[in-house]
Amino acid sequence: MVQPKVLIIGAGLAAFALADRLYQQADVTIITKESIHDTNSKRAQGGIAAAISDDDDWQYHYQDTIHAGNDYNDTYMVEMLTKEGIEGVQELLQSGFPADRDEKGRLCLGMEGAHQNKRIIHAGGDQTGKFLMLHYQQKVLDKINVISHQMVVECLVKEDTCYGVITIDKNDQFHLHIADKVVLATGGCGALYETSSNDPTVTGDGFSIAYRAGAVIRDMEFIQFHPTMLASSMDGNALISEAVRGQGAKLVNQYKRPIMEKVHPFQDLAPRDVVARAITNEEMNGNHVFLDISNITDFNKTFPSITAICENSSIDWRSGYIPVTPGAHFIMGGIQTNENGETNIHQLFAIGEAACTGVHGANRLASNSLLEGLVFADRLAKRILSDPHSARHVPSVAYPKKRDSKKMYLPEKNLLKKYMKRYAGIERNEEGLLKMCNWLESFDLDFQASDLSRNGSREDMEWLHMLTTAWLITTSALKRTESRGAHYRTDFPTSDTKWHRVPIERFKTEVLSNKRLLINH
Ligand code: SIN
Q: Is residue 158 part of a domain?
A: no
Model confidence at 407: pLDDT above 80: no
Q: Is 238 in the pocket of ligand 1 (CB under 6 A)?
A: no
pLDDT band at 509 (very low <50, low <70, confident <90, very high): very low
List the residue whose alpha carbon is closest to atom 1 of ligand 1: 241
Q: Tell me, in angstroms, the distance from the centre of ligand 1 to residue 196's CA.
A: 13
**Average pLDDT across the chain, whole number:** 90
**pLDDT tens-place string over residues 229-258:** 999 756 567 999 988 998 999 999 999 999
Q: How many of the other CB atoms lie within 10 Å of CB of 516?
A: 11
The whole-angstrom separation of Cα 37 and Cα 41 is: 9
Residues identified as active-site: 272
Domains held by the chain: number: 2
Predicted local distance difference test score (pLDDT) of residue 162: 96
Q: How many of the other CB atoms lie within 10 Å of CB of 482?
A: 15
pLDDT band at 402 (very low <50, low <70, confident <90, very high): low
Locate the ligand 1 atom nearest the alpha carbon of residue 242 and give its number.
3
CATH number at residue 422: 1.20.58.100
The residue segments making up the domain with residue 492 are: 413-514
Q: What's the rounded mean pLDDT across residues 116-142?
A: 96
Predicted local distance difference test score (pLDDT) of residue 510: 43
Model confidence at 514: pLDDT above 60: no
Predicted local distance difference test score (pLDDT) of residue 406: 53
- Out of 327, 356, 371, a domain closes at 327
User: Which amino acid, one-letter code, is at 87?
Assistant: E
Predicted local distance difference test score (pLDDT) of residue 391: 67
Q: Is residue 508 part of a domain?
A: yes
Question: H-helix or E-strand containing 184?
Answer: strand 181-184
Predicted local distance difference test score (pLDDT) of residue 520: 59
Nearest to 435 by CA among 408, 475, 465: 475
Q: Is 46 in the pocket of ligand 1 (CB under 6 A)?
A: yes
- Out of 298, 327, 356, a domain closes at 327
Q: Is 45 in the pocket of ligand 1 (CB under 6 A)?
A: yes
- Out of 277, 293, 327, a domain closes at 327
Q: Evaluate if pTM is beyond 0.85.
A: yes
Q: Is residue 313 part of a domain?
A: yes
User: DSSP secondary structure string, 136-165?
Assistant: HHHHHTTTSEEE-SEEEEEEEEETTEEEEE
**pLDDT tens-place string over residues 303-334:** 999 999 999 999 999 999 999 999 999 999 99
Q: What's the rounded mean pLDDT across residues 26-43?
A: 94
The whole-angstrom separation of Cα 245 and Cα 490 is: 28
Of residues 21 and 455, more confidently modeled: 21
User: Which amino acid, one-letter code, is at 425?
Assistant: G
Locate the ligand 1 atom nearest the alpha carbon of residue 367 and give its number.
8
**Mutate which of 240, 241, 324 for ligand 1 pocket (most atoms within 8 A of beta carbon):** 241
**Mutate which of 13, 45, 360 for ligand 1 pocket (most atoms within 8 A of beta carbon):** 45
Q: Is 243 in the pocket of ligand 1 (CB under 6 A)?
A: yes
Q: Tell me, in angstroms, the distance from the centre of ligand 1 to residue 46's CA.
A: 5
pLDDT band at 453 (very low <50, low <70, confident <90, very high): very low
Q: Is 186 in the pocket of ligand 1 (CB under 6 A)?
A: no
